[in-house]
Homo-oligomer: A and B are copies of this chain.
């Protein structure tokens, strides 16, 4: 009788600065027989996300740090290959949070059965139909409180979250949508494919100058994926009563020292600004409303999405580093060999 195994990527040591392959180990473990109520899932796709960098550090946060020697958890989607649970049957497609492993096993309560939508890859449940796009939706509507006619600025706008922010902003009544990205190709994508009104390459000139040109009337909402000089530029461009949803600061995740803060914090007082950070896990109550909106937008073709797919669980770390370097367009996922 064949013993079932699972190949997994574990955090072996905490990175200082940029993570390297040496911070991780790949192990293959034997799986126990299913206990009553458990399911076994062959994963198709694993999610790599910027927030994972923060969890590699041992710091206080809403989301606890990864433990050393444990498998990297995170979003994943796959097919049920064995089930000892009444609620889930073999062949079901499920989404779960067990992360970087080719085979996942555990109590059925940790797996959410999702419908297979014809023409939509199941990887969409890690992006446009998952936590990634929910992050954009919640950040823009609940955290920043988008209002009709607002000028919206999004950093990291060609990424999985950013490209959704821009499209949702338009669909929810923004007056003008401006985005930044790090290559000419991405900048073209923003205006040509995602419907941004203006976009710029932050490597071309100071963000503050380019933002002033792209949003001459100032901005009302800023969705921050980048931090650093982007946040400072937004604070400088805000109209009175401006609101920022702080989602991430990818420019600073691999910094080894404290990152310099914006030098124009005084604008928060004088212009009555609000900055609010959030972690999507605390806002899952908005998932039904999000799914209703997003399913409609996808069906009608009002939202488009892109994915960057890396093959092989053994390349998960490289995929994550590529994400950190901005090599992805849209959602970065790893296709496990079990996806066949």
Report A234-250 CB contacts with B as 1/0, cut-off 8 Å.
00000010000011110
- The answer on a CB contact under 8 Å between A259 and B249 is no
- B63, B252, B276: the one within 8 Å of A274 (CB): B276
A119-B332 Cα distance, complex, nearest whole Å: 70
A63-B271 Cα distance, complex, nearest whole Å: 8
Chain B, residue nearest A55 (CB): B270
**Closest Cβ of chain B: how far from A11's Cβ, in Å?**
18
The segment from A13-21, A35-43, A261-269 found at the interface with B is A261-269
Q: Which residues of B contact A282 (CB under 8 A)?
A: 272
- The answer on a CB contact under 8 Å between A271 and B265 is no
Q: Do A270 and B227 contact each other (CB < 8 Å), given the known contacts A249-B265, A261-B263?
A: no
**Closest Cβ of chain B: how far from A148's Cβ, in Å?**
21
A179-B247 Cα distance, complex, nearest whole Å: 31
Chain B, residue nearest A240 (CB): B62
**Closest Cβ of chain B: how far from A154's Cβ, in Å?**
16
- The answer on a CB contact under 8 Å between B263 and A272 is no
Is A61 part of the binding interface, using a Cβ–Cβ cutoff of 8 Å?
A: yes
- The answer on a CB contact under 8 Å between B275 and A275 is yes
- The answer on a CB contact under 8 Å between A261 and B260 is yes
- The answer on a CB contact under 8 Å between A54 and B259 is no
- B62, B232, B259, B267: the one within 8 Å of A263 (CB): B259
A261-B267 Cα distance, complex, nearest whole Å: 12
Interface residues of A in 275-313 (CB under 8 A from B): 275-279, 282
In the complex, besides A248-B269, A252-B266, A273-B276, 19 extra interface pairs with C-beta distance below 8 angstroms are A54-B270, A60-B270, A62-B240, A62-B270, A62-B271, A227-B265, A247-B269, A249-B269, A258-B264, A259-B265, A259-B266, A260-B263, A261-B262, A262-B265, A268-B276, A269-B278, A272-B277, A272-B282, A275-B276
User: Could you jot down 10 A-B contacts, CB within 8 Å?
Assistant: A60-B270, A227-B265, A232-B261, A246-B268, A249-B266, A267-B277, A269-B277, A271-B277, A273-B276, A273-B277
